[in-house]
Amino acid sequence: MQTLKYAAAALILAATPLAAEELIMSSWLPPKHPIVVNAMEPWAAEVAKVTDGRVTVRIMGKPLGSPPAHFDMARDGIADITYGLHSFTEDDRFNGARLGQFSFMGDDAVKNSEAFWTIYRDKLGAEEEHAGTHLLGLFMHGPGLLHNNKRKIEKPEDMAGLKIRVPGGYVGDLVSALGASPLFMSSPEVYEKLSRGVIDGVAFTYEAMTAFNLTDHIKYSMTVPGGIYNTTWFLVMNEAKWNALSEEDRKAIDGISGMAFADRVGKAWNDADTAARDVVGDKVDFYEAPAAVVDALRKAATELEAKWAASLPQGRDGAAALAEFRQMTGVAQQ
């Protein structure tokens, strides 16, 4: 009789699914931001699907820390999964990530993200620079613009004296080289600073104009083919938490991450840029940078690229990585 009871209990346990491993993702973008809605949330849902419910991801409605703290939060286990900009981290631990931040890199967020995932990992030590985490994704947005509410930039000298918000990294150095004053701040801070006149303009994408309600405070938006700049992003998971998952679940999650996530988030950004341009319409003067401004941008960019390439560890060829990147995105063929 006792044996039958044990057998029955064993059958019940076998038929009862084990509790899912719930992973906490800290998210600092607005909950309705297109990247959260169209990339992070679908990816989280797919994690549950490919692991047959054994692993789930809960995206927090409010961040567990400031945007610049998000990489350290994943590394230190404050959150299981985080995303963020490499340039928000003020030290130089992500020096290789500058690969994707330069001017004239590409107009398609899918191609940009695919190239960044491929080349940064294969040639510039992405895993090493993200030590303490498992690298789930690397990505970029579409072409970065310079928006301002003071004047149209018709010659290089028109940049002088403008106070421009930058997300750190390369574009801060670029804006400074062109005579403007770069001011670092994270994306959620921009609306207040722009509306109060603390800054005159901002380095941002098309989609950010609507995502952060900036249209009423911007008059001019300057573009160049391939982008004036870009930002590079990570999606990472605490390494110990990752290693605690089963090999089967790690393989399943990797299968929907990496290049697949680059495609997903790149498409979300492309769609968001298109939608933002439609919403903004003629409320803002969008214009291509005049030739003299493009020449000044190119001169400053070339010098900054060379300085970056020389700063890389021995054996990492920054110039070759940039050339390969632009070949993948089609800029080299323009």
- What is the CATH T-level fold of the domain 145-229+283-329, as seen in this structure? D-Maltodextrin-Binding Protein; domain 2 (3.40.190)
User: Which CATH homologous superfamily contains domain 21-140+230-275?
Assistant: Bacterial extracellular solute-binding protein, family 7 (3.40.190.170)
Query: Counting every residue, how long is the chain?
Result: 334
Half-sphere exposure of 312 (CA within 13 A, CB side): 24
| Domain parsing of the chain, residue ranges | 21-140+230-275, 145-229+283-329
pLDDT in tens, 193-209: 999 999 999 999 999 99
pLDDT by residue, tens only, the chain of 334 residues: 444 443 443 443 344 345 789 999 999 999 999 999 999 999 999 999 999 999 999 999 999 999 999 999 999 999 999 999 999 987 889 999 999 999 999 999 999 999 999 999 999 999 999 999 999 999 999 999 999 999 999 999 999 999 999 999 999 999 999 999 999 988 889 999 999 999 999 999 999 999 999 999 999 999 999 999 999 999 999 999 999 999 999 999 999 999 999 999 999 999 999 999 999 999 999 999 999 999 999 999 999 999 999 999 999 999 999 999 999 999 865 4
Residue written as tokens 């941008």? 297
The distance from CA 184 to its chain's CA centroid, rounded to whole angstroms, is 16
Q: Are 318 and 305 in contact (CB under 8 A)?
A: yes
* 207 token code pair: 């989609």
Q: Which amino acid is at 185?
A: M
21-140+230-275 with 145-229+283-329: one CATH topology? yes
Phi, psi of 178 (to 5 degrees): -90, 0
**Beta pairing, strands 163-166 & 201-204:** parallel
> Residue 96 carries which DSSP code?
G
Burial class (CB in 10 A: 0-12, 13-18, 19+), 106: buried
Overall pTM > 0.75 = yes
Query: How is residue 152 written in tokens?
Result: 């149209």
Query: How far is 183 from 115, CA to CA, in rounded Å?
Result: 29
CA 266 from centre of chain: 10
Q: Give CA–CA dist 164/141, Å, rounded.
A: 19
pLDDT tens for 77-130 read 999 999 999 999 878 899 999 999 999 999 999 999 999 999 999 999 999 999
Rg of the chain's alpha carbons, rounded to an integer?
22
